[in-house]
Each structure stands twice: as structure tokens, then as C-alpha cells.
Chain A
Amino acid sequence: MLPSDLKSEMFAGYAVEARKIVTAHLPTLRQMPLSVLPGLLRELISFDFKFPAERKARERELDYLGSLSQAQLKECFHDFSEIRLSRQLEEFEWVKLPGQFVERLSAQLWSTHQLDAFRKASSDYADRLRAAVPPEPPPIPRLGISVIGQGVTSYGEPLFRKLRPHGAYFSGIKPENGLRQLLDAVAVRAKAHPLSYGHWYIDGGEAFACEPVLACVSYEGLAGARAALLRKMQEQIEQPGMGPEALRSFLAQLRPADLGMERQGADEVLHRFEVSVLTEGSGTQIFSTVFAQWAAREALRRAQPVTMLVRFAPRQRQKPMNELLSASAKAPAEVDVIGSLVDGDFAAYYNWLNQQRLVGAEQSSFLVWFEGHSQALAIGPTMARGTESRSAADLQQVLGWMS
């Protein structure tokens, strides 16, 4: 089936809001090439459970496309139209299973050497969209905070190496009550500028008490869901004929209730986000540092928050082969605090990079702190790049200088 054959009744299986937006824009969707439309449907099929920023972006995109003439639409998607697709892809149930179609499309793009052409078409389309429908600036400058190194008593190697050229390094931070100061600062911002999913606190361990004005996600808070997920994955792996693609398809269909997350009055949007972090992220189920980094990446990309506090906690130690072979293989997992610090240090750099990809980057600020220690680094329009301060200061003061 091709996009030109689309009919509104084909979307009967979509949730209410998803069905509404798709049918409202059906004439536009019918004119899109098959190489690109299922990618859009993959986003729209879960429209009911998207963050406000994502919904708005999709609505604006579709409104823009709807404003184009037939000839303009054809020109807009010309490069995508040049992508050659197999008959199997055309015959696939891409309306019902757009995510699986995209997986198959990706494999075909690689094997037919069309990936570069597709990448260029995607990039050109994104540029065009950005020019035509510029993203709206945030209501207040964004603030990102990463807290790394929980549990490390001493560390002699230099930290924040990737970030130092971009900001001011502080080596005289007074660490007392540092975490409390950061959490309070985040809560104050959230209360002063209430925004749905605009202020986040992600913890790679057990979260401190979470203010209702924050979107809170924690690794320990999802312990039950993680265990349920790993059990389900194990069951699937043991099925005859199970391969990576089939496992991915299985994971993509999991919902919060499948992992025991359904609660009365629960936040379905946030729960779906948590499930996606665990099912789409590689390593998020087993390493807390990876969980925190990937959750932050996805939250920044999707919810585009104005405040993001990420605290990294020690992850379990990866056992070397000789231990796996020995009697200690079944011993409880230990934690690797130094490895986690290294993970967190690099992940903080990724948190900053991902924040800077959002609109308003030139006004955004970022702070990373070695928890319980005197080292921090602050980046922002008011902070001199590549500088160092040894003066004594607490984190509240540093945040004040950044704002």
C-alpha cells in the first residue's frame, strides 16, 4: 500500500488524539513518500502520550505542510521520493506498525547504500522546517545541572575535561548541603515558572523527595519495572527462533501495565516515557549511569525542559571474565564508584551537548558538580570561558552568578 491509498478508517486502532490529528491532515499525509511517512506516523501513533512540546512541534509541522501547495509538497519531499523501496516494504502494515516499518527501512537503507541519501534528505528537511517554523524560545533561559561522583572519597584525575574550555572551573566549592541547595534551586524555579514537564529531576539512584512541580524519574524507583523487564526479555530470548529484530519489536509493544507500573491516577505520559527509556535505551536496564544519561537525553530531546537536574549514582560493577567463571559469579553485584564517576563525567558533557541542541542555547546555563567535593564547573553567558576560580563559594552562590 502507498500513502496515496490512505483512508481515515485505517487509523481506527489509533488512540483518540492520534486519530484526530492524523485524519485532520490526511490530504497532506497522502502526498508524502513512503520513505518518510511511517517515520511521522511512528510519532503520531503515540500522540496521546507525548509531552506538550512534542505535540506542539508535530502540530506546527503538519500545519506548515498543510499550507504548501501540491507542487511545493512534491518539491519538499523530492529527495525522499528518490529513495527506492522494496515491494516487501510497500506491502508491510506500516499504518498499524510504523515503528517496525522504520526498523526495516533502516536495514534496507544500509544494505542498498541509500543511507547517506536518506540522511541528507532528512537533514535538508529538518533545516527547511526550522526555517519555516522556527522553534519557540523557552520562557526562561534553560538551566542544566549534573551531579556526578556519588560515593567517591578521592579522585586524582582531572574532571570536566570536555567542558572546561566552555566555562569556569571552581576548585573551592563548599560541599556542605550542596545537593540540598541544588534541589531547592530547581524547586524554586519550577514554582516560579510552572510548566507541564518543564522542570525535571532524574536520579541514577534513589531520588530525594520529589516536589510535585517536578517531573521525577529514578533508577531505584523503577527497580520493579526493570526486574519485570529483564524477566520478560529472558523469556523471549528462550523462545525458539527469537532474534534481535523480534526482540526489539516485542520491547516496542510493552506498556507500563506490562511492567507492573499501572497505578490509580498515575501519570501515563511519564510512565510511557520511563518504559521507553528502559526498552529503547541500550544498557539502561543494568547500569544506573547509563539510565541517567539516556533518560536526560530523551527528556531534553522530547520534553525540551527549562530545568534539568541529573544526579548520577554508582552503577553495578561489570564482572571480568575470570570472575564470571568462578564461584563468585553468583555473588551480589558490587558497585563501581570510580567507573561511575568516569561515566558520569562524560555523561555530563553529553547532557550539556543535548541541552545546547535546543533553541535558546546561547542563553542557557549548565553546572556540573563533583558531589561532596570542592570541584564544579559552570557554563553560561555570564561565566568566563576557560577560567578557574579557587575562591571559596557554595553552590547557591555559583548558581546566583550564573543567572
Chain B
Amino acid sequence: MEVPEQSRRDLVRRALRNGASDREVSHVLARTRRDFLREAAGVAVGSALLRPVWARAAAPRTKRKVVVVTFGGGARDQETFMQEGQENIPHLMRELIPRASFFTQVVNRGILGHYVATASLATGVYETFNNFAAVSPESPTVFEYFRKDLKRPSSDAWVVAPSNGFNRIGESSHRSYGSGLGARVILPKRLLSAATSGSSHNYQHLLRDNYETPYYAPELAGSEFELQQLEMLLKLSVDDFKSYAQTLTSPDELSVYIARQLMRQVAPSLLWITLHDIDVAHAGAYSLYIEGIRRTDRLCSELWQAIQEEPEYAGETTLFILPDFGRDSDEDAGGNGFQHHRTGDVLSRTTWMLASGPGIRENVVFDRAVDSRDLVPTLGAILGFHASLAQGKPVGEVL
């Protein structure tokens, strides 16, 4: 039965006002996403049935690749999957969801700060460090499991992130993993700042990209990618990099540009891209938040296209797209709606995940609850490593 848009919104509001439990509200949210996707994109409703064992037998594990994209800074349903928001995500709706398994209820029960939440996604453990500190995650990251278990070189695991706070996300402080076993981290804005440091302009504003505290740029420390390596690894001259950057409108566009260079020149098996433009919502201007969502939607499509076009990736790559978390609801008087993610309400904790690639069922939606810590064990099952300290469980529907 078709559920009208207003009724869907009312379902969520009613659940919130009637004092429904967090679990009940999450479930209502998941159902509204599922209903909307079923109508708008014509997707089928999945069940807990696992796909046949033979379906993944095609590619040997050594060739498999995974690209993880965090849907930059968190967006709410009403600006994305609700009918009123679909105009903001045309690429997800028309190009990606029909080719993907879509999970409507991914719950993040951790701290809703972007660095610590992304670190939690990457470790499969709810990390509890100070979101604004330049520290490594305490638990081993997916990159360390991948490299240690599969004996992969550092060139096979990369993180691309626009925010300077993310420079330590590639490697944990865990004594059994950590040093020398993590991913290479590339911060394109940092590179750009270094590339333009001799010019007459002051580019310090480039580094102040933490939208939640826009005037603060944390100290950098860690094994980040250096400017000198731009030409050697990415076959990109500093001048070309600078020139191209001047044609781009946002840090996330720069990140995707670098990610494409990485895919072409280095072709890592595990590539993690953190988009962040949407988080401009912290400045409180609704139009800028919407622009951020539309740009992120387009960039996700560009990354999908890149996967199809690059010979090393085409037919071998599983793509995961998921926000680290949502944003505050309009209904919670303690917040200011889309602007922040500070209340910890159900809407800010409940989000979604899209998985697409060889052997993954297409055009199917699952609305059972998935924990955001489930990502790392799932990647382990796909790539063939054991995330022994991660607390989540593999998502069987994509294995």
C-alpha cells in the first residue's frame, strides 16, 4: 500500500511525540525510507535471505577491491530520502540505488563527532577519544587488519580526507597493530596549502575546515602524504595540481580528484574517502547545507563512474556509501534542526548504507537494524581478513 509523504512524516513525528522508544523510532524511520525507495526507485524489499554461495565465487580475493565513501558530514532523511528531499539526490536515486543493496537502518550508538565517529566506523569499535584532538584511534583500524592479515604493502590501503583532523585515522595506537601497519593518509587541502605556500595569498583559511569549530585547525602529526610525493606517486606536478584545484568549488571535489588519481596511478585495494562538504550546515545556512548534499550526491556518482572506468577496479570492486551519522531532528527542542548533531536523538543516530559491486544483490532494500560497527567485519569477510577486535558482525546480506 502506498504511504503518502505527509503520512510518512507524520508516522515519525507521531512516534516521537508518543514517547516511542529509540528502537521503535529507528524502525519507523527505516520503514519510511524503505517505502519511499520502493515507490521512487522501484526497489524490491529484501529479507534476511542470504545470497547464494556461488555468487561471490567469481573473483579471487587477491583481486578484490573495496571503496568506502562516507557521505560527508551527515544529512537527514527529509533532505534526502523523503519525497521532499529526493530532488537533492538524483544520482543516488537514479544511478546508484538501482544497482545496490540498500540498508535503511544503520544505527550509530557512539559519539556523534565526525572524526571520532569516522574512526569508530573504521575500527568497528565505538571510540571515545576527544573529537577535536589529533590522536589515533585506540582500536586497530580496518587498514591494519587488512595489511597485517593479508601481508599487503602500505600502498594498498589509502585514506583521502579533506579535514586536517583526520590525519591520524589511518593507524591506531594499539600495541599489536599500529605503527607501520596503517593506511597512507592523504589530506588534499593540506597538500594544496603546501603547494600554494610560496604565493602572495594567505591560504590559512584552507586549513580551517572543521565546520563545527570553524576557527580551529588542529596541530598536524602523523604519517601524512607529503607534497614531494605528489609527482612520484600520483604522476601529478605541483603546478598541474594547483591549476586544477583552482577550477574546483569545494574541498570534496578536490578529494574526489585526488582519489581518482590514486585509483589510476596506485590502484589500492582498500580506499576510504571521507567527504565533508555537507557539514557546512554547522554555519546554519540551509541553502549551503542543501548545496553540500547535492554536490556530495554528484561526487558519489563520479566515484561510481571512476570505478567502472578504471580497469583495475571495474568488475572487482565493492562500493560502500554511508553517512557517519545524521543530524538533529526539527522536533527536538534541544537542538536547532539540521544545523548540528548535538542532541543524540534517534534521527541523528539512525542513518543508511548503500553497498554495490560484484555479487551484491541489486535494487534491494533491507530494513533490519545494522550497527555502524558492522562495517569493518563486513569488509573483513569480503577481503579475507579477520577483524578480531571489532565489535560488530558481518552484514550477511552482502556476503
Binding site for B on A (CB under 8 A): 107, 110-113, 115-116, 119, 161, 165, 233-234, 237, 242-245, 247, 281-284, 286-287, 289-290, 293-294, 297, 301, 315, 318, 320-322, 324-327, 329, 336, 338-340, 342-343, 345-347, 349-350, 353-354, 357
Contact = CB atoms under 8 A, between A and B. Distances in A.
Nearest to A329: B201
Contacts of B111: 110-111
A283 B285 contact: yes
28 contacts: A111-B111, A111-B128, A113-B109, A113-B110, A116-B344, A243-B133, A244-B216, A245-B132, A247-B216, A283-B282, A283-B283, A283-B285, A289-B284, A289-B285, A290-B283, A294-B284, A294-B336, A318-B288, A320-B250, A321-B206, A321-B245, A324-B205, A326-B246, A339-B285, A342-B287, A346-B286, A350-B337, A357-B333
Contacts of B337: 350
Contact of B336 (A116, A345, A350): A350
A321 to B, nearest CB: 5
B254 interface: yes
B248 interface: yes
A321 B249 contact: yes
- The listed residue with most B CB atoms (<10 A of its CB), out of A110, A287, A301, is A110
B224 interface: no
A301 B345 CA distance: 20
Given A119-B344, A321-B250, A325-B196, A297 B336 contact: yes
B290 interface: yes
Contacts of A338: 287
Interface in B183-214: 192, 196, 201, 203, 205-206, 212-214
- The listed residue with most A CB atoms (<10 A of its CB), out of B126, B250, B286, is B286
Chain B interface helix/strand/loop/mixed: loop
A293 B6 CA distance: 25
Contacts of A325: 192, 196, 201, 203, 245-246
A379 to B, nearest CB: 16
B344 A322 contact: no
Contacts of A116: 22, 344
Contacts of A318: 280, 283, 285, 288
Interface size classification for chain B: 35 or more
Nearest to B242: A325
Given A282-B284, A290-B284, A293-B284, A321 B343 contact: no
A318 B249 CA distance: 11
A145 to B, nearest CB: 19
Contacts of A281: 284
B330 A353 contact: yes
A339 B339 CA distance: 16
- The listed residue with most A CB atoms (<10 A of its CB), out of B196, B218, B251, B344, is B344
Contacts of A237: 215-216
B282 A282 contact: yes
A287 B283 contact: yes
Nearest to A287: B285
Given A283-B284, A325-B245, A325-B246, 8 more contacts: A112-B128, A237-B215, A282-B283, A282-B339, A282-B340, A290-B284, A315-B285, A327-B201
B195 to A, nearest CB: 10
B287 A324 contact: no
Interface of B: 6, 22, 84, 109-113, 126, 128-130, 132-133, 192, 196, 201, 203, 205-206, 212-216, 218, 245-251, 253-254, 280, 282-288, 290, 330, 333, 336-337, 339-340, 343-345
Nearest to B330: A353
A100 to B, nearest CB: 15
B220 to A, nearest CB: 14
B215 A233 contact: yes
B77 to A, nearest CB: 14
Contacts of B203: 324-325
A318 B206 CA distance: 14
A322 B206 CA distance: 11
B284 A284 contact: yes
Contacts of A247: 213, 215-216
Nearest to A386: B6
B268 to A, nearest CB: 25
Given A237-B216, A244-B213, A343 B287 contact: yes
Contacts of A107: 130
- The listed residue with most A CB atoms (<10 A of its CB), out of B201, B254, B340, is B201
B336 A343 contact: no
A167 B232 CA distance: 63
B324 to A, nearest CB: 14
A283 B281 CA distance: 9
A239 to B, nearest CB: 11
Nearest to A281: B284
Contacts of A297: 336
B370 to A, nearest CB: 19
B354 to A, nearest CB: 27
A223 B336 CA distance: 24
A161 B287 contact: no
A113 B212 CA distance: 21
A104 B193 CA distance: 34
A242 B218 CA distance: 9
Contacts of B250: 320-321
The 6 closest A-B pairs by CB, nearest first: A290-B284, A320-B249, A283-B283, A342-B287, A283-B284, A244-B213
- The listed residue with most A CB atoms (<10 A of its CB), out of B111, B245, B250, is B111
A111 B113 CA distance: 11
- The listed residue with most B CB atoms (<10 A of its CB), out of A283, A287, A293, is A283
Nearest to B128: A111
Nearest to B111: A110
A321 B276 CA distance: 14
A85 to B, nearest CB: 16
A119 B343 contact: yes
A243 B216 contact: yes
B132 A322 contact: no
Contacts of B343: 119
A389 B394 CA distance: 56
B76 to A, nearest CB: 12
Nearest to A318: B288
Contacts of A293: 284
Contacts of A350: 330, 336-337
A244 B132 contact: yes
A297 B218 CA distance: 31
A350 B133 CA distance: 33
A294 B196 CA distance: 37
Nearest to B290: A342
- The listed residue with most B CB atoms (<10 A of its CB), out of A318, A338, A349, is A318
- The listed residue with most A CB atoms (<10 A of its CB), out of B22, B246, B288, is B288
A293 B330 CA distance: 14
B242 to A, nearest CB: 8
Nearest to B202: A329
Nearest to B253: A321
Contacts of A119: 343-345
A237 B215 CA distance: 7
